[in-house]
Amino acid sequence: QPLVGNLIGEGHVNYVLMYNMLTGIRIAVSRCQAKIRRPLTEEDYTARHKFSFDIVGNELTPSAKYDFKFKDYAPWVFRELREDHFHLDPADYLLSLTAKYILSELGSPGKSGSFFYFSRDYRFIIKTIRYSEHKFLRSILPQYYEHVKNNPHTLLSRFYGLHRVKLPHGRKIHFVIMNNLFPAHKDIHETYDLKGSTVGRVYPEDKAAQNPRAVLKDLNWINRGKKLELGPEKRALLTEQMRRDSELLKKLRVMDYSLLVGIHNMQRGNRDNVRSNTLKIFSPDMPAIRRKATQSKGPSSPEAIAMRRIMRESDPKRLGSGTFKLPEEDTGERQYFLFYQDEGGLRATDETNDGLDTIYYLGIIDILTPYSSVKKLEHFWKGLQADRHKISPVPPVEYAERFFRFMKAIMRSGDHGEKVEDDGNIK
Ligand code: ATP
Ligand code: CA
Ligand code: CA
């Protein structure tokens, strides 16, 4: 996978933060979950529930290893999103997010300084976000909710929860929980982060050759002559959904989002094709283990030691229950979503709608950046240097339209390269 991180255990720099996040989620989410469902009210969108954790504990919060404060935002709205619209099982959700030694960390893959953590079954991603993004998500929550309700197959990030941890010295960390677009069982052979912009949107090809997990960009896609191979049926459905999703983003005046595309080549399959029972049992760490196993250089190599440690730590007996399982792509929540139905993704098809040997994992990510004054400034400065339509920070309406045009184009042909070079816009 392009995203495989380091397992966070005790002693890791972010262990305490991790522990606090997960403890907060466990208590807050199960508290809300324990109540009887009721229809949402207007206040639910702005609600925030506060929890104060300490080593002693009280009637509201059990004792925790550390002192910290936790806020749960719009818990009822997210509960309804999870249960009714994202088809998550409440128990599963909590279990995935709150087991011991749970997450692996991927240090800031973007420029924004956000951190990404995976739940140990690889199903969920925790992303730390800026305060401005947090504020923005709260402000658009009613529209986001409506959109998801009316568009069950939306490609937009599925937000499952919005929370904040406050550490004793006052530092506040905001974070969202969202769907991992990439499945645990499948190797992703190529990853693209596409914005529909061409200026600076390239990952050096020489470096890409050495790094199969590189996240490639628009120009790599164009120069490699890539195409989303979808027959008329899927193409029409996907286009319509993208149109609706980008309409919303336009209306919300969001910028900078991208279409994330993971490509699994079925001929290549998974690197070692091993899905033995042993790996199944320790499946929460499977992606990491698989990698380590393939490069293992003997019983005392660092890889082997790490692998034994991971296996020990993920011993179901030590976790207290053996119920951990990797979601099967076709039985989990993904079965409900049109574009995630074929082994968790969207299988390529030919012009007669017959299946080809590629599976795409697609979604629109990073949708919480409003066109703020910062962006306006950036637009001004960059606009002095290059054709202002080709560069990334154009105002939201242009951004959405350019994005949608590009997305339509990548489904059409593999050779739209020149057209882009011509004028920066794909016709
Ligand atoms: P920047 O603002 O600099 O673009 P960021 O910190 O906001 O960065 P994102 O753009 O959200 O980060 O994501 C960075 C990368 O992380 C993506 O290109 C993708 O590889 C991976 N990623 C993000 N969200 C998901 C997701 N839901 N599923 C799988 N991978 C993801
Ligand atoms: Ca981004
Ligand atoms: Ca971002």
Residue 290: what pLDDT?
32
Q: Which of 113-127, 204-218, 374-388 has the lowest mean pLDDT?
A: 374-388
Is 1 inside any structural domain? no
* Confidence band for 383, pLDDT divided at 50, 70 and 90: low
Which atom of ligand 1 is nearest the CA belonging to 110? 8
Examine the domain organization and report whether 98 and 194 are in the same domain: no
Query: How far, in Å, is the centroid of ligand 2 from the Cα of 260?
Result: 9
Which atom of ligand 1 is nearest the CA belonging to 179? 27
Examine the domain organization and report whether 148 and 32 are in the same domain: yes
- In SS3 terms, 285-341 reads as HHHHHHHHHHHCCCCCCHHHHHHHHHHHHCCHHHHCCCCCCCCCCCCCHHHHCHHHC
Examine the domain organization and report whether 404 and 345 are in the same domain: yes
What whole-number distance in Å separates Cα of residue 393 and Cα of residue 303? 42
What whole-number distance in Å separates Cα of residue 147 and Cα of residue 157? 12
Which residues sit with their C-beta closer than 6 Å to ligand 1?
2-3, 109-112, 114, 125, 157, 178-182, 191, 193, 215, 260, 363, 365-366
Residue 305 has pLDDT above 60, yes or no: no
What is the residue with the minimal CA distance to atom 5 of ligand 1? 110
233: CATH: 3.30.810.10
Examine the domain organization and report whether 156 and 203 are in the same domain: no
Contact 222, 369 (CB under 8 A): no
Residues 6+ apart with CB under 8 A from 150: none
Report the residue among 156, 215, 260 best suited for mutation to probe ligand 1: largest number of ligand atoms under 8 A from its CB. Answer: 260
Examine the domain organization and report whether 214 and 235 are in the same domain: yes
Is 345 inside any structural domain? yes
The DSSP-derived string for 14-77 is THHHHHHHHHHHHHHHHHHHTSPP----GGGGT-EEEEEE-SS--SSS---SS-EEEEEESHHH
52: CATH: 3.30.800.10
* Confidence band for 295, pLDDT divided at 50, 70 and 90: very low
Number of domains in the chain: 3
Query: How far, in Å, is the centroid of ligand 1 from the Cα of 212?
Result: 17
Is 58 inside any structural domain? yes
Residue 224: what pLDDT?
95
Convert the pLDDT of each residue in 66-91 to its tens digit. Answer: 899 999 999 999 999 999 999 999 99
Which atom of ligand 1 is nearest the CA belonging to 193? 18
Which atom of ligand 1 is nearest the CA belonging to 178? 27
Residue 114: what pLDDT?
87
Examine the domain organization and report whether 261 and 302 are in the same domain: no
Residue 265 has pLDDT above 60, yes or no: yes
Contact 263, 348 (CB under 8 A): no
Query: How far, in Å, is the centroid of ligand 1 from the Cα of 317?
Result: 34
Is 153 inside any structural domain? yes
Examine the domain organization and report whether 415 and 282 are in the same domain: no
Query: How far, in Å, is the centroid of ligand 3 from the Cα of 415?
Result: 29
Residue 44 has pLDDT above 50, yes or no: yes
Is 299 inside any structural domain? yes
Secondary structure element (H or E) that encloses residue 173, with its range:
strand 172-179
Residue 375: what pLDDT?
61
Examine the domain organization and report whether 239 and 172 are in the same domain: no
Is 325 inside any structural domain? no
Strand 215-217 with 190-194, pairing: parallel
Residue among 71, 30, 56, 60 at smallest CA distance from 167: 71
Residue 326: what pLDDT?
52
Q: Which of 48-52, 216-220, 319-323, 376-380 has the lowest mean pLDDT?
A: 319-323
Q: State which of 242-251, 284-293, 366-375 shows the largest mean pLDDT.
A: 242-251
Residue 53: what pLDDT?
95
- Tell me whether residue 63 is exposed, middle or buried, using C-beta atoms within 10 angstroms of its C-beta: 0 to 12, 13 to 18, 19 or more: exposed
Residue 392: what pLDDT?
54
Which atom of ligand 1 is nearest the CA belonging to 106? 16
DSSP 156: B
Convert the pLDDT of each residue in 121-160 to its tens digit. Answer: 889 999 999 999 999 999 999 999 999 999 999 999 999 9
Is 289 inside any structural domain? yes
Examine the domain organization and report whether 97 and 244 are in the same domain: no
Mean pLDDT calculated for residue range 212-217: 91
Q: What percentage of the chain reaches a pLDDT higher than 70? A: 73
Q: What are phi and psi of 401, to 5 degrees?
A: -70, -40
Residue 144: what pLDDT?
98
Examine the domain organization and report whether 106 and 56 are in the same domain: yes
Is 184 inside any structural domain? no
Q: Residue 289: which domain range?
A: 277-319
Examine the domain organization and report whether 243 and 365 are in the same domain: yes
Contact 396, 253 (CB under 8 A): yes
Examine the domain organization and report whether 315 and 172 are in the same domain: no
